[in-house]
Chains A and B, each alone.
Chain A
């Protein structure tokens, strides 16, 4: 069966510090991978998606970036965090009709 992991689960970072969130998927190959952000009390905003290794599409221009160094690894990064980057970050994978989400990382920028 397939599983998706995210870490860390929670993170508190000062403004201007770098960020690296990691997502890995087990039990499947060549999935589509996604990063979403959920601001407090709001819906999900798609940030990036990837259909293969090294292929990244950005949905929202901002100070975040994503990379896919391996087939089942997806990384969300920032060189300098802003207060507005606070939120709940969710990674997801899909292959065919269904899309499954990881447990999320709650990021607080102080």
Chain B
């Protein structure tokens, strides 16, 4: 069955780069996502990558996809204290439901 795994916690210093990693199992997924959740809030779609891409860059965010290893990463450049949150990766199920399978989330703590 589908399973998405992430490390639970990451701590970085303000100004450094953060790299959050994720592995997934469904090789048929055509979309892979990164969401951000701040305390008490819903999930904010940060970015997504189509499976035929290796990399996608959007301002401070860079997504890398290694389809062979089923590995996805999110790099945040010049990490700010406002980036402190939980980050979820997700893969999309390729049927009419388009439901997402989420990892358990990585809590990013940015130290001043």
Q: Report A's interface with B, CB cutoff 8 A.
A: 32, 34, 42-44, 46, 49, 51, 57, 59, 90, 92, 94, 97-104, 106
Contact = CB atoms under 8 A, between A and B. Distances in A.
Interface of B: 31, 33, 35, 40-45, 48, 50, 88, 92, 96-105
Given A51-B96, A97-B92, A99-B98, 20 more contacts: A42-B105, A43-B88, A43-B104, A44-B43, A44-B88, A51-B97, A57-B97, A59-B99, A94-B98, A97-B31, A97-B48, A98-B48, A99-B33, A101-B35, A101-B42, A101-B44, A103-B41, A103-B42, A104-B42, A106-B40
Contacts of A104: 41-42
A99 B97 contact: no
Contacts, number: 50
